[in-house]
Structure 1
Amino acid sequence: MAISKAFIASLLISLLVLQLVEADVEISNEKNDSGSKIDCGSACIARCNLSSRPNLCHRACGSCCAKCNCVPPGTYGNYDKCACYANQTTHGGRRKCP
Protein backbone atom coordinates (compact mmCIF):
# COMPACT_ATOMS: atom_id res chain seq x y z
CA MET A 1 0.00 0.00 0.00
CA ALA A 2 2.83 2.38 0.84
CA ILE A 3 4.52 1.61 -2.46
CA SER A 4 1.43 2.55 -4.46
CA LYS A 5 1.10 5.84 -2.55
CA ALA A 6 4.75 6.61 -3.24
CA PHE A 7 4.27 5.74 -6.90
CA ILE A 8 1.23 8.01 -7.22
CA ALA A 9 3.05 10.84 -5.45
CA SER A 10 6.07 10.53 -7.74
CA LEU A 11 3.80 10.42 -10.79
CA LEU A 12 2.04 13.62 -9.72
CA ILE A 13 5.35 15.36 -9.09
CA SER A 14 6.61 14.26 -12.51
CA LEU A 15 3.50 15.66 -14.18
CA LEU A 16 3.96 18.94 -12.33
CA VAL A 17 7.58 19.20 -13.47
CA LEU A 18 6.62 18.48 -17.09
CA GLN A 19 3.94 21.16 -16.93
CA LEU A 20 6.46 23.69 -15.59
CA VAL A 21 8.96 22.86 -18.34
CA GLU A 22 6.30 23.26 -21.03
CA ALA A 23 5.25 26.60 -19.56
CA ASP A 24 8.88 27.74 -19.57
CA VAL A 25 9.25 26.83 -23.27
CA GLU A 26 6.10 28.78 -24.12
CA ILE A 27 7.30 31.81 -22.15
CA SER A 28 10.69 31.73 -23.89
CA ASN A 29 8.97 31.52 -27.29
CA GLU A 30 6.77 34.50 -26.36
CA LYS A 31 9.89 36.46 -25.41
CA ASN A 32 11.46 35.59 -28.75
CA ASP A 33 8.35 36.74 -30.59
CA SER A 34 8.57 40.09 -28.80
CA GLY A 35 11.89 40.99 -30.42
CA SER A 36 14.68 39.70 -28.19
CA LYS A 37 17.32 37.75 -30.09
CA ILE A 38 18.17 34.19 -29.16
CA ASP A 39 21.64 32.65 -29.31
CA CYS A 40 21.30 30.71 -32.56
CA GLY A 41 24.71 29.10 -32.17
CA SER A 42 23.96 27.31 -28.92
CA ALA A 43 20.35 26.57 -29.91
CA CYS A 44 21.54 24.90 -33.12
CA ILE A 45 24.27 22.97 -31.31
CA ALA A 46 21.57 21.51 -29.08
CA ARG A 47 19.27 20.88 -32.05
CA CYS A 48 21.95 19.19 -34.19
CA ASN A 49 23.58 17.25 -31.36
CA LEU A 50 22.57 13.81 -32.69
CA SER A 51 22.64 14.59 -36.41
CA SER A 52 24.50 12.23 -38.73
CA ARG A 53 25.59 15.30 -40.75
CA PRO A 54 26.30 17.94 -38.10
CA ASN A 55 27.88 20.55 -40.39
CA LEU A 56 24.92 20.52 -42.77
CA CYS A 57 22.51 20.56 -39.84
CA HIS A 58 24.25 23.56 -38.20
CA ARG A 59 24.27 25.52 -41.45
CA ALA A 60 20.57 24.92 -42.16
CA CYS A 61 19.56 25.48 -38.55
CA GLY A 62 21.58 28.70 -38.38
CA SER A 63 19.93 30.20 -41.45
CA CYS A 64 16.46 29.19 -40.24
CA CYS A 65 17.15 30.58 -36.78
CA ALA A 66 18.36 33.88 -38.24
CA LYS A 67 15.13 34.24 -40.24
CA CYS A 68 12.73 33.05 -37.54
CA ASN A 69 14.54 33.93 -34.30
CA CYS A 70 13.51 30.60 -32.82
CA VAL A 71 14.59 26.96 -32.80
CA PRO A 72 12.26 24.18 -31.64
CA PRO A 73 13.38 22.39 -28.47
CA GLY A 74 14.90 18.93 -28.66
CA THR A 75 16.89 17.25 -31.40
CA TYR A 76 13.96 16.45 -33.73
CA GLY A 77 10.33 17.41 -34.23
CA ASN A 78 8.52 19.92 -32.00
CA TYR A 79 7.88 22.11 -35.04
CA ASP A 80 4.62 23.32 -33.49
CA LYS A 81 6.72 25.41 -31.08
CA CYS A 82 8.14 27.50 -33.94
CA ALA A 83 5.84 27.79 -36.95
CA CYS A 84 8.21 29.96 -39.02
CA TYR A 85 10.98 27.39 -38.59
CA ALA A 86 8.65 24.60 -39.67
CA ASN A 87 7.40 26.45 -42.78
CA GLN A 88 10.84 27.03 -44.37
CA THR A 89 11.21 24.83 -47.47
CA THR A 90 13.86 24.12 -50.10
CA HIS A 91 13.34 24.70 -53.82
CA GLY A 92 12.27 21.07 -54.05
CA GLY A 93 9.50 21.60 -51.49
CA ARG A 94 11.22 19.63 -48.71
CA ARG A 95 11.57 20.95 -45.18
CA LYS A 96 14.69 23.12 -44.99
CA CYS A 97 15.14 23.34 -41.24
CA PRO A 98 16.33 20.32 -39.26
Structure 2
Amino acid sequence: MGNMKALSMLLALLVFSMLATEAFARHYQYGNGSLRLYQCPRRCKKRCSKARKTEECKFFCNKCCRTCLCVPPGTFGYKYLCPCYNNWKTKRGGPKCP
Protein backbone atom coordinates (compact mmCIF):
# COMPACT_ATOMS: atom_id res chain seq x y z
CA MET A 1 0.00 0.00 0.00
CA GLY A 2 2.93 2.33 0.74
CA ASN A 3 4.30 1.86 -2.80
CA MET A 4 0.93 2.82 -4.29
CA LYS A 5 0.86 6.03 -2.25
CA ALA A 6 4.40 6.92 -3.32
CA LEU A 7 3.59 6.16 -6.95
CA SER A 8 0.45 8.33 -6.92
CA MET A 9 2.42 11.16 -5.27
CA LEU A 10 5.11 10.88 -7.95
CA LEU A 11 2.50 10.89 -10.71
CA ALA A 12 0.81 13.98 -9.22
CA LEU A 13 4.19 15.75 -9.07
CA LEU A 14 4.89 14.87 -12.70
CA VAL A 15 1.50 16.19 -13.84
CA PHE A 16 1.97 19.39 -11.85
CA SER A 17 5.43 19.87 -13.36
CA MET A 18 4.10 19.44 -16.91
CA LEU A 19 1.26 21.90 -16.31
CA ALA A 20 3.62 24.46 -14.78
CA THR A 21 5.96 24.17 -17.76
CA GLU A 22 3.10 24.67 -20.22
CA ALA A 23 1.94 27.76 -18.32
CA PHE A 24 5.52 29.08 -18.25
CA ALA A 25 5.92 28.54 -21.98
CA ARG A 26 2.65 30.30 -22.78
CA HIS A 27 3.60 33.25 -20.58
CA TYR A 28 7.01 33.70 -22.17
CA GLN A 29 5.82 33.12 -25.75
CA TYR A 30 7.99 30.35 -27.11
CA GLY A 31 7.91 29.46 -30.77
CA ASN A 32 9.75 30.16 -33.99
CA GLY A 33 10.63 33.84 -34.24
CA SER A 34 9.92 34.59 -30.57
CA LEU A 35 13.46 35.86 -29.84
CA ARG A 36 15.70 38.63 -31.10
CA LEU A 37 19.26 37.80 -32.20
CA TYR A 38 20.81 39.51 -29.17
CA GLN A 39 18.87 37.13 -26.86
CA CYS A 40 20.38 33.95 -28.33
CA PRO A 41 23.69 33.84 -26.39
CA ARG A 42 22.01 34.24 -22.99
CA ARG A 43 19.29 31.67 -23.74
CA CYS A 44 21.85 29.19 -25.11
CA LYS A 45 24.13 29.66 -22.11
CA LYS A 46 21.23 28.68 -19.86
CA ARG A 47 20.11 25.84 -22.17
CA CYS A 48 23.61 24.33 -22.22
CA SER A 49 24.53 24.96 -18.58
CA LYS A 50 24.22 21.28 -17.63
CA ALA A 51 25.49 19.77 -20.88
CA ARG A 52 28.49 17.45 -20.81
CA LYS A 53 30.13 19.37 -23.69
CA THR A 54 29.06 22.91 -22.81
CA GLU A 55 30.98 24.80 -25.52
CA GLU A 56 29.86 22.45 -28.30
CA CYS A 57 26.28 22.70 -27.05
CA LYS A 58 26.43 26.51 -27.03
CA PHE A 59 27.91 26.59 -30.55
CA PHE A 60 25.08 24.53 -32.04
CA CYS A 61 22.40 26.14 -29.89
CA ASN A 62 23.46 29.61 -31.08
CA LYS A 63 23.53 28.42 -34.69
CA CYS A 64 20.00 27.06 -34.33
CA CYS A 65 18.81 30.15 -32.49
CA ARG A 66 20.13 32.48 -35.21
CA THR A 67 18.11 30.54 -37.77
CA CYS A 68 14.96 29.75 -35.78
CA LEU A 69 14.97 32.68 -33.33
CA CYS A 70 13.82 30.31 -30.63
CA VAL A 71 15.43 28.27 -27.83
CA PRO A 72 13.31 25.87 -25.76
CA PRO A 73 13.04 26.57 -22.02
CA GLY A 74 15.12 24.68 -19.48
CA THR A 75 18.28 22.67 -19.91
CA PHE A 76 16.74 19.65 -21.65
CA GLY A 77 13.61 18.69 -23.55
CA TYR A 78 10.63 20.88 -24.49
CA LYS A 79 11.87 21.13 -28.09
CA TYR A 80 8.29 20.84 -29.32
CA LEU A 81 7.84 24.46 -28.20
CA CYS A 82 10.25 25.51 -31.00
CA PRO A 83 9.33 23.47 -34.11
CA CYS A 84 12.19 24.81 -36.28
CA TYR A 85 14.71 24.08 -33.51
CA ASN A 86 13.17 20.64 -32.99
CA ASN A 87 12.93 19.60 -36.65
CA TRP A 88 16.37 20.72 -37.89
CA LYS A 89 18.33 17.51 -38.54
CA THR A 90 21.96 16.62 -39.31
CA LYS A 91 22.94 14.89 -42.56
CA ARG A 92 22.63 11.59 -40.70
CA GLY A 93 19.10 12.41 -39.53
CA GLY A 94 19.92 13.12 -35.89
CA PRO A 95 18.93 16.31 -34.06
CA LYS A 96 21.00 19.36 -35.03
CA CYS A 97 19.94 21.50 -32.06
CA PRO A 98 20.65 20.63 -28.42
- Return the TM-score normalized by structure 2: 0.69
CA RMSD of aligned residues (A): 2.3
CA distance in 2 between partners of 1:23 and 1:83 (Å): 18
SS of 1:40's equivalent in the other structure is helix
SS of 2:76's equivalent in the other structure is coil
Identify which range, 59-68 or 38-47, moves more after superposition: 38-47
- Tell me, yes or no, if structure 1 residue 37 matches structure 2 residue 36: yes
Residue 74 of structure 1: aligned partner: 74
Instruction: Kindly indicate whether structure 1 or structure 2 has the higher relative contact order, using CA contacts under 8 Å at least 6 residues apart.
Output: 2
User: For structure 1, which runs of at least 5 residues remain unmatched after alignment?
Assistant: 1-14
CA distance in 1 between partners of 2:45 and 2:24 (Å): 20
- Structure 1 residue runs of 4 or more that deviate by more than 3 Å after TM superposition: 21-24, 32-36
* Paired letter, 1:62: N
Aligned residues: 81
- Return the TM-score normalized by structure 1: 0.69
Which protein is bigger by CA-based radius of gyration?
Answer: 1
Superimposed CA distance per residue, residues 29-80 of structure 1 (whole angstroms, 9 cap, x where no aligned partner): 26x6566515001100110000110110000000000111010001111011
CA distance in 1 between partners of 2:61 and 2:72 (Å): 10
Is the 8 Å Cα contact of residues 29 and 81 (structure 1) preserved in structure 2?
A: no
Residue 63 of structure 1: aligned partner: 63
Deviation at 1:26, TM superposition (A): 1.8
Aligned sequence identity (%)? 35
Residue 12 of structure 1: aligned partner: none
Is the 8 Å Cα contact of residues 71 and 85 (structure 2) preserved in structure 1?
A: yes
